[in-house]
Every structure is written in C-alpha cells, then in structure tokens.
Structure 1
Amino acid sequence: MEVQPIGKNQNNLDKWTFWLLMIYVSVLVWIILLKFGVQFSYMENRKINLIPFANGYYDKTETIMNVVIFIPLGIYATSLFKRWAFNTQLIFFFLMGLILESLQYLLKIGTFDITDLLTNTTGGIIGYLGFWTIRKLTQDHQKSQKFFNILSSVGTLTILLLLILLKLEMLPIRYR
C-alpha cells in the first residue's frame, strides 16, 4: 500500500472534498428527509418493508435514482477516508442508508424500505469503484481527487440550480 504524503495541496483538496460532502449531505437530507419541504401529514400509517423488491413490484426509475443519489457518497468517502478498507466503506454506506431509512420511518415522513437500503448501498459501492478506477488509471490519489472535485463542483452547482428551479416551479416538471 502506497503512503500518501500529506502536504498543502492534499489538505486543500481534502477541504474542498469535505465542503462538497457537506453540501451533498445537506441536499440528501433535504431530498430524502424533508421531501423538498412538502407537508408530511399523509404518512400517518407508517410502513416497513423488509422484503427486497416485495410483491414483484419494481419501479425501475425509483431504483435507479436510489442508486444514483448515493454514488457521490461513495466518491467522497473514498476520497476523504483513504485508509478505510473496502469493508469499512461498505459498512459506512450501509449505515448511512440505514440512518436515513430509519429517520424517514421514525419522523413519519416515509417508509422504511429494505429495497432502498440495498440500492443506496449499491450506489455507495459504485462511487467507491468509480473513484478507484480513476485512481488506478492515473496512479495518483491527488489527481483522482482533483478530477472528482472538479466534476462534483460542476455537478453540485447544476443539481442545486435544478432543485431550486424545481422548488420554485420554474421547470416544466413538478414534484408532487
């Protein structure tokens, strides 16, 4: 295993990644727990689904979105927590999904769904693998981190703009 020198450039990259992670977690909480600020009164009858893809019901779009929304977590965690083994990362992705699913249920704002937990964890794994693929191609952790920081900065600004426009109902689609 290669030891990375910690210098000024690495510290700046880590700070940049950390702030991207904080923005990402804030948006994730806003989307998953706060439901874009929508009222939650419709969730009086809370449900728990402990059977993956229960009743043969499979919403392809929801499944894909649950994977995609956790890919950045995999990238950020792999970038920041360099010394964590894959198993530790896997547990972290699983626990993040478990916390969010549990909070949805406890706060009466959604259901606890094992399918979501599995697809969220899968998204974290894909982010992890994506980071390590670029890391292997560049043979340099800092270059990989910088690549993803630039990509994530553009993506974060784009997503924030789209979410704001969606919330202000300035897009041709509506969130209900």
Structure 2
Amino acid sequence: MEERKKVGLNCLVQFLFAVYLILLVWIILFKLQLSIHELDRIRGINLIPFYYDNEIGTGFHLKEVLENVAIFIPYGIYLCMLKKEPGLWVKFFLILMTSFILEVLQYILAVGGTDITDIITNTCGGMAGIGIYWSAVRIFRSRNRAETVIVVFAVVVTILVTGGLSVLLMAN
C-alpha cells in the first residue's frame, strides 16, 4: 500500500511539474499571450548584470528581480522531488541551463530581451527552491511528509494560478 502511495505521489508531482513548465514557457516566451503574433517583436541582449536600459529607465529594478526569482522557486522544489540522486551541482546546472535556453529562445523568437540578469535571478530562484525543499524536509523531519505537504500546497497553487489565468483569458 505504501509503495502505491509513492507511485501515485510521484505521478502527481510529474503532472504538476509538466503544468508548471507549460506555464513557465507561456509566461517567459509568450508573455501570457495566446498568439505569437500578438507579441511585441523585441530582440536584444544585455550582458551587464542588473543593468536596465529600457522604458522603465536605467538602474536597479527590484520588482523584476523578485519576479524572476519567484518564478523559478518551484523549479528547484520539483527538481528535488523528481531527481533525488543527483547532487546539488547537477541541479544547479539544470536550473542554469533551463534559464539559459529560455533566454536564448527569447532572442531567437524575438519575443523579449535576452538578459544575463534573468539567468542569474532565475538560477537564484531555483536554488532558493532547493533550499526551501530541504528546509521543509528538516521541519517535517521526513522526506515523505515534506513532499506530501509540498504536493498539497502545489495542487492548491496550481489550481489557483490556472484558474486565475483562465478567468483573465476569458475576460479578455
């Protein structure tokens, strides 16, 4: 019976991760648009960390940094739940490469500025997710209990986010 629960939980985690990845790509590449034709055509590269030169103005933009960190926190958590064996460096590399690939795709598709700051902040967010996962394991004193709590939380958040986005799409 316990093994069946683990398999069910793992399938649910895989499903939630797939939904998260779809939302992540939709947010980063398609800017929550339903059609690629509705996107502004922007192609630029910024290789200076934490430098912004756009319509918002130059300088540091805390809101954008925090958004980039926050959007990758679930990635780190899901990596820990799905990839139990690989060490921290492998997870770090997966997070870094995912962010890098998304930034390169933004440039190729001309749907946003490719920015080193995004790669840095996304990677920090993923690493924060790993830290949150391991903190939960320590708090609940069991990997299984922590993962059960995380999955329940992830289901609620996934329903709220997809539901909220669905309402926004129907309203437009």
Alignment TM-score > 0.5, same fold:
yes
The SS at the match of 2:85 is coil
1:24 aligned to 2:17? no
Cα offset for 1:12? 1.3
Percent identical residues: 32
List structure 1 runs of 4+ shifted beyond 6 angstroms.
none
Which residue identity lines up with residue 48 of structure 2 in the other structure? I
Q: Sort the Cα spacing of 1:134 and 1:41 in 2 relative to 1 into closer, same or farther, 3 A.
A: closer
Q: Supply the distance in 2 between the matched residues of 1:36 and 1:87 (Cα, whole angstroms).
A: 32
C-alpha contact 2:13 2:78 (8 A) present in aligned 1: yes
Q: Supply the distance in 1 between the matched residues of 2:81 and 2:22 (Cα, whole angstroms).
A: 19
Alignment of 1:13-162 (within 5 A): 13-37=9-33, 39-43=38-42, 46-54=43-51, 57-162=59-164
- How many residues are treated as equivalent by the alignment? 163
C-alpha contact 2:49 2:117 (8 A) present in aligned 1: yes
The SS at the match of 1:48 is strand
127-136 or 30-39, larger mean C-alpha shift = 30-39
Cα offset for 1:57? 1.8
Cα offset for 1:41? 4.3
C-alpha contact 2:73 2:128 (8 A) present in aligned 1: yes
Cα offset for 1:139? 2.5
C-alpha contact 1:13 1:142 (8 A) present in aligned 2: no
Which residue identity lines up with residue 26 of structure 1 in the other structure? I
Q: Supply the distance in 1 between the matched residues of 2:171 and 2:101 (Cα, whole angstroms).
A: 30
**What are structure 2's unaligned runs of at least 5 residues?**
53-57
The SS at the match of 2:32 is helix
C-alpha contact 1:40 1:108 (8 A) present in aligned 2: no
Cα offset for 1:36? 1.5
When the two structures are superposed, what TM-score results if normalisation uses the length of structure 2? 0.88
Q: Supply the distance in 2 between the matched residues of 1:57 and 1:161 (Cα, whole angstroms).
A: 35
When the two structures are superposed, what TM-score results if normalisation uses the length of structure 1? 0.87
Q: What RMSD over aligned residues (CA atoms) do the two structures have, in Å? A: 1.6
Cα offset for 1:137? 2.1
Q: Supply the distance in 2 between the matched residues of 1:144 and 1:80 (Cα, whole angstroms).
A: 14
48-57 or 24-33, larger mean C-alpha shift = 48-57
Q: Supply the distance in 1 between the matched residues of 2:171 and 2:114 (Cα, whole angstroms).
A: 29
Q: Deviations over 1:118-159 (max 9, x none)?
A: 110011011100010111222221111111100000001111
Q: Supply the distance in 2 between the matched residues of 1:165 and 1:104 (Cα, whole angstroms).
A: 26
